[in-house]
Amino acid sequence: MIDKIDLEQRIATYRLSDPMIVLIGPMGAGKTTVGRKLAQNLHLDFVDTDQAIEQNAGCRITEIFEQEGEEGFRQREKQALETYCCLSGTVIATGGGAILAETNRRMMRNGIVIYLHATPVQQFQRIKKRTHRPNFNPDDGVDSLIRLMKVREPLYRGEADFTVNTGKQSIELIISAIEKFLVGL
Ligand code: S3P
């Protein structure tokens, strides 16, 4: 853990440089939970693009997929990134599939990109009881998660300035690892 003086110094530095921190990684890696806490610790704003998309559309992501298809959702996701991926002083949690589009990846590079990594089995354990993700069907077990990771993992790795495994560690350790990385920048 970083001691209090370091923490204050670091916050002062961040307030001056106002970073934009972009969290990437698959469903269930903990982007929202980690992002909210990290933003709180660093006195930065927090945005979750999935939540922003839902607020803007006035409905859940599942309904967007039903009415507009995945293509419609990806279009909305791109617009959300255009809105938020230029905001300094912000931690942005992105959706697991945002990494697919080159335009999105380019926007993410405006910030410090942190990849929250979890294995498909760990992802499955976390999200199996939640049915609001259209690209995940709990009845498929880990299979669909493995399929998605095959395509997306190289893209996550390719964009990451820093990677942290979120599968087994406590949120405190995950945040501490990210903070140590940021301090060393
Ligand atoms: C998706 C991940 C979801 C959400 C949408 C599609 C995906 O975000 O954007 O359901 O294709 O992996 P989380 O990664 O926050 O669950």
Mean predicted lDDT score pLDDT of the chain: 91
pLDDT of 38-48, one tens digit each? Answer: 999 999 999 99
Which residue's CA is minimally distant from atom 16 of ligand 1?
27
Q: Where are the domains of the chain?
A: 4-183
pLDDT value of position 16: 47
Please give the C-alpha separations between residue 164 and each of 24, 31, 43, 125, 133, in angstroms, as whole numbers: 11, 11, 21, 18, 23
Instruction: State if residue 31 touches ligand 1 by the CB under 6 angstroms criterion.
Output: yes
- Tell me, in angstroms, the distance from the centre of ligand 1 to residue 157's CA: 17
pLDDT digits 0-9 by tens, 14-41: 544 688 999 999 999 999 999 999 999 9
- pLDDT score, position 11: 54
Which single residue is written with the structure tokens 């803007």?
A: 56
Å from CA of 177 to ligand 1 middle: 24
Written out in words, the top-level CATH class of the domain with range 4-183 is alpha beta
pLDDT digits (tens, 9 = 90+) for 162-173: 999 999 999 999
pTM value?
0.92
Which whole number is the average pLDDT over 129-139? 87
Nearest alpha-carbon partner for 111 in 29, 50, 27, 45: 45
Interval 82-101: pLDDT, tens? 999 988 899 999 999 999 99
Angle at 51 between CA 14 and CA 85, to 5 degrees: 40
Residue 149 pLDDT greater than 80, yes or no: yes
Residue 44 CA to ligand 1 center (angstroms) comes to 23
> In the predicted model, is pLDDT for residue 148 greater than 70?
yes
More confident: 99 or 4:
99
Would you say residue 4 has pLDDT above 60? no
